[in-house]
């Protein structure tokens, strides 16, 4: 927390005994009850059960997420979607909290902020002892309250207080749901009976595959009738749209590849002669950075590694193609290194690896590590020095030991000391985290290792290549300005037409195309049959046409056909098979009329409705436990894979009654786990209005 860190660094503590209770009341009054953001405006991004999500507050929270996760490569559209879901969940749950009267008292919040799992722990941990400095944290919050700095108070409120309250309330609510789980005695008894039930049947089976798909057409009316009959399964809450599109590639062509090859060849002599390899590769902007250490052949990721490891020191191999680059490789050196090493160390930190914040000045750290080294040389206990001084919490409680680890797992200076020095070697090395006093405790399995430099230049499309793709896309867009012309132009141009379906208004990516909010906006700004101007997609250009607008509600026949057509066709096949093939009222008669044999299935389990060699058939297995069918043939049954007729040979229970306690515990655990699906049910039942598309 940078705000708290700045306050702590100033060190101007005013009142030691003031705790954060007063601050909490201040923040809850001046922050939470006023709705948070000082930048809120009347623009509404969405509503949940009538409660607004304001643009200003949403933008503030989005900015905080970008600052937190942007460096980790998170895309802005991903953060927008994540934040939207977070805000919807917050409002849905807050409504439930109010109904139940759930609250977090000031005392509870104080406990949350200052217990061992405090969100302040990282900023207020003594780097020497690892102890959470509770009093310092309380002082910092008290001073913040006295400062009346609105922006800093708002930051603490948004980043600490509100999340702490929200998490506590959510835990309480979840615990209520879990504790409400109950399994009645009759259900346990039924579950045990189901688990133990087994049956054997004789049956006749005619698979649907015996009737050609082409023999039975499925109309849109039949699809719509099935959808209406199963309306809950085929209803949508959101409108979606489909597009057809054609792509014109701007990927590098042969001439572009030749240009990249010539560029690499022109640098080959300089690469071979270079003495400061890191400086040379940085100057030439190599696509592969220089790794100034050694790797075994097993750890190398490059193509042609068999050839690379046979190079003499100083020789150059290539150019060769690796991915989208032309590459030259130069052997810098070879050695024998172990494949794993064990060390112990004491870290005097200069930077916290988690927060990136400075722990102490470099000069101070160097003096301390030198003192530690001298003390150990003078007979001081290594373990005692680790316990007293090491800032590495990952190894401190193990005497500073890192057990056998592979090459390349640690930062370079640390790695090279562990693998290059002999067992028993001691010394100081410096990394980005600070100064380490190290001792090599063990090494295993010596193996050849190699230091290789790579000069890589990308094969990229030239302006001429890109312009050619752009021109082709523009010509297509002019010729195919409506649905009929679009398809005709694609046919005459021999350009394949691709499709992307179920695009939602707030999507940021399109299946088969990738991240492109611009395209999604265009799709929702136009109507069915409209054709786009060329849209740039990385190295490619596409021309898109809105092929369908699928309104919310019941799926149309066109939407449902991909999933429903086979189901309806099988229903028609079942009717035809029953009417034309199943004659008589015994299995033998059915077998004769269908041209099949009477088959046998033993040990069918009620709890696992599978038939060996056939697959999942719940209707058929269910019939196996119908005592009315004992010794006589059933009517034809429309199964999942074909039509069946069965005769029950036996049904009953496996020996033994099972463990009542374990069955009960399993059912209870399932009931408790199902409580985690409660949030989705609440969201589904909520009245949610999503206006994000107007702003992003």
Of 98, 61, 95, nearest to 76 (Cα)? Answer: 61
Considering Cα of 491, then 493, then 494, then 497, what sign does the dihedral take? Answer: negative
Token duo for residue 365: 């750290």
Same domain (yes/no): 274, 412: yes
pTM: 0.66
Number of domains in the chain: 4
Q: Which residues are within 8 A (CB) of 217 and not within 5 positions of it... i.e. 6 or more apart? A: none
The residue with tokens 């201040």 is 26
Six-digit token string for 366: 């160097």
The tokens for 34 are 């006023």
> Contact, 617 vs 609, CB < 8 A?
yes
Instruction: Answer yes or no: are the C-beta atoms of 189 and 527 closer than 8 Å.
Output: no
| Inside any domain, residue 691 | no
Distance (Å, whole) CA 546 – CA 531: 7
* Domain-terminating residue out of 401, 435, 460: 460
Q: What is the dihedral of CA 498, 503, 505, 509, to 10 degrees?
A: -70
Q: What's residue 694's pLDDT?
A: 87
Residues whose CB is less than 8 angstroms from the CB of residue 87 and which lie 6 or more positions away in sequence, other chains included:
46, 48, 53, 58, 61
Task: Find, among 127, 149, 130, 147, the residue nearest to 139 by Cα.
Answer: 147
- 40 to each of 36, 55, 59, how far by Cα in Å? 8, 7, 9
- Are 153 and 226 part of one and the same domain? no
| Structural domain contains residue 172 | yes
* Of 153, 179, 205, the domain-final residue: 179
499 and 570 in one domain? no
Q: Indicate whether 526 and 568 sit together in one domain.
A: no
Same domain as 218, residue 260: no
User: How many Å apart are CA 213 and CA 209, to the nearest integer?
Assistant: 8
Residues 74 and 165 in one domain: yes
Give the DSSP letter string of 454-502: EEEEE----HHHHHHHHHHHHHHHHH--SHHHHHHHHHHHT---EEEEE
Residue 582 lies in domain: 197-235+558-653
Q: Is residue 676 part of a domain?
A: no
d(CA 555, CA 563): 11
130: Cβ contacts below 8 Å, ≥ 6 apart: 393, 396
Q: How many Cα atoms are found within 13 Å in the side-chain-facing hemisphere of 9?
A: 10
Residues 316 and 272: beta-carbon distance below 8 Å: yes
| 439 touches 344 (CB < 8 A) | yes
Closest residue by Cα to residue 350 from 366, 335, 338: 366
Query: Does a structural domain hold residue 673?
Result: no
Q: Choose among 334, 329, 333: nearest CA to 271.
A: 329
For residue 319, whether the previous peptide bond is cis, meaning omega lies within 30 degrees of 0, is yes
Same-domain status, 527 and 603: no
In a domain, 684, yes or no: no
In sequence order, what are the residues at sequence separation of 6 or more whose Cβ sits closer than 8 angstroms to the Cβ of residue 367?
none
- pLDDT, averaged per 10 consecutive residues of the chain (696 residues), comes to 37 32 38 36 84 91 80 73 91 92 90 84 73 84 80 80 88 90 91 90 96 94 96 92 95 94 96 94 94 91 89 95 94 95 95 79 94 94 93 89 92 94 95 95 95 95 93 94 94 94 92 89 95 90 95 92 95 96 95 96 92 94 93 95 96 77 89 83 90 89
Does 111 lie in the same domain as 16?
A: yes
477 with 407, same domain: the answer is: no
HEC readout, 17-73:
CCCCHHHHHHHHHHHHCCCCCCCCCCCEEEEECCEEEEHHHHHHHHHHHHHHHHHHC
268 in the same domain as 361: yes
* Placement of tokens 């380490």 in the chain: 436
Contact 422, 440 (CB under 8 A): yes
Q: Is residue 268 a part of any domain in this protein?
A: yes
The pair of structure tokens assigned to 612 is: 């060996």
Q: Same domain, yes or no, for 208 and 292?
A: no
Element (H, E) at 87: helix 76-100
- Are 391 and 310 spatial neighbours (Cβ–Cβ below 8 Å)? no
Q: Is residue 359 part of a domain?
A: yes
Residue 74, classified by CB atoms within 10 Å of its CB into exposed (0-12), middle (13-18) or buried (19+), is middle
Report yes or no on 680 lying in a domain: no
Same domain, 383 and 499: no
**How many Å apart are CA 298 and CA 417, to the nearest integer?**
21
């Amino acid at each position: 927390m940078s705000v708290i860190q700045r306050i702590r660094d100033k060190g101007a503590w005013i009142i030691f005994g003031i705790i954060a209770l007063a601050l909490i009341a201040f923040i809850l009054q001046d922050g939470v009850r006023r709705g948070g953001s000082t930048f809120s405006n009347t623009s509404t991004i969405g509503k949940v059960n009538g409660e607004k999500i304001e643009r200003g507050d949403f933008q503030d929270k989005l900015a905080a997420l970008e600052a937190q996760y942007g460096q980790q490569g998170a895309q802005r559209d991903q953060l927008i979607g994540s934040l939207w879901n977070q805000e919807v969940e917050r409002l849905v749950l807050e409504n439930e909290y109010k109904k139940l009267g759930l609250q977090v008292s000031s005392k509870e919040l104080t406990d949350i902020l200052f217990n061992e799992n405090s969100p302040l722990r990282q900023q207020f941990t003594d780097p020497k002892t690892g102890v959470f400095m509770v009093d310092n944290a309380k002082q910092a919050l008290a001073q913040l309250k006295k400062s009346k700095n609105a922006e800093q108070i708002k930051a603490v409120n948004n980043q600490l207080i509100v999340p702490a309250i929200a998490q506590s309330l959510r835990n309480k609510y979840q615990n209520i749901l879990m504790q409400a789980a109950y399994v009645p005695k009759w259900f346990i008894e039924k579950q045990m009976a189901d688990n133990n039930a087994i049956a054997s049947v004789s049956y006749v089976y005619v698979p649907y595959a015996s009737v050609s798909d082409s023999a039975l057409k499925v109309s849109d009316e039949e699809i719509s009738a099935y959808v209406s009959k199963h309306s809950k399964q085929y209803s949508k809450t959101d409108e979606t749209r489909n597009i057809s599109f054609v792509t014109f590639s701007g990927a590098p062509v042969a001439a572009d590849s030749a240009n990249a090859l010539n560029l690499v060849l022109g640098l080959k002599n300089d690469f071979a002669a270079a003495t400061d390899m890191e400086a040379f590769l940085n100057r030439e902007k190599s696509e592969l950075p220089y790794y100034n250490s050694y790797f075994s052949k097993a750890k190398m990721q490059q193509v042609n590694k068999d050839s690379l490891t046979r190079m003499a020191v100083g020789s150059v191999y290539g150019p060769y193609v690796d991915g989208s680059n032309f590459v030259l490789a130069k052997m810098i050196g070879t050695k024998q290194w172990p494949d794993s090493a064990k060390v112990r160390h004491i870290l005097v930190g200069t930077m916290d690896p988690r927060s990136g914040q400075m722990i102490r000045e470099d000069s101070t750290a160097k003096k301390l590590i030198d003192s530690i080294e001298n003390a150990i040389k003078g007979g001081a206990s290594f373990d005692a020095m680790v316990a007293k001084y090491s800032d590495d919490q990952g190894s401190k409680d193990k005497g500073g030991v890192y057990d056998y680890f592979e090459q390349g797992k640690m930062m370079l200076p640390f790695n090279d000391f562990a693998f290059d020095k002999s067992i028993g070697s001691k010394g100081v090395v410096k990394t980005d985290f600070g100064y380490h006093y190290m001792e090599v405790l063990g090494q295993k399995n010596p193996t050849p290792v190699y230091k290789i430099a790579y000069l890589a230049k990308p094969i990229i499309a030239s302006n001429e290549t890109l312009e050619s793709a752009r021109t082709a896309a523009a010509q297509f867009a002019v010729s195919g300005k409506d649905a009929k012309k679009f398809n005709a132009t694609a046919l005459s141009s021999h350009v394949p037409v691709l499709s992307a379906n179920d695009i939602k208004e707030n999507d940021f990516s399109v299946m088969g195309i990738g991240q492109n909010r611009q395209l999604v906006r265009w799709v929702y700004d136009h109507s069915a049959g409209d054709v786009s101007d060329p849209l740039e997609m990385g190295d490619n250009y596409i021309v898109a046409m809105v092929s369908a607008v699928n309104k919310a509600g019941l799926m149309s026949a066109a939407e449902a056909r991909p999933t429903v057509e086979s189901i309806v066709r099988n229903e028609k096949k079942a009717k035809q098979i029953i009417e034309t093939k199943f004659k008589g009222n015994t299995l033998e008669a059915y077998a004769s009329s269908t041209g099949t044999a009477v088959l046998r299935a033993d040990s069918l389990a009620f709890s696992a409705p599978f038939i060996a060699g056939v697959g999942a058939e719940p209707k058929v297995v269910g019939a196996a436990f119908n005592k009315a069918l004992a010794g006589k043939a059933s009517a034809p049954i429309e199964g999942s894979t074909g039509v069946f007729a069965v005769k029950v040979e036996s049904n009953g229970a496996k020996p033994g009654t099972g463990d009542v306690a374990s069955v009960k515990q399993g059912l209870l655990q399932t009931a408790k786990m199902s409580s985690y699906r409660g949030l989705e049910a609440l969201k589904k039942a909520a009245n949610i209005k999503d206006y994000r598309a107007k702003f992003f």
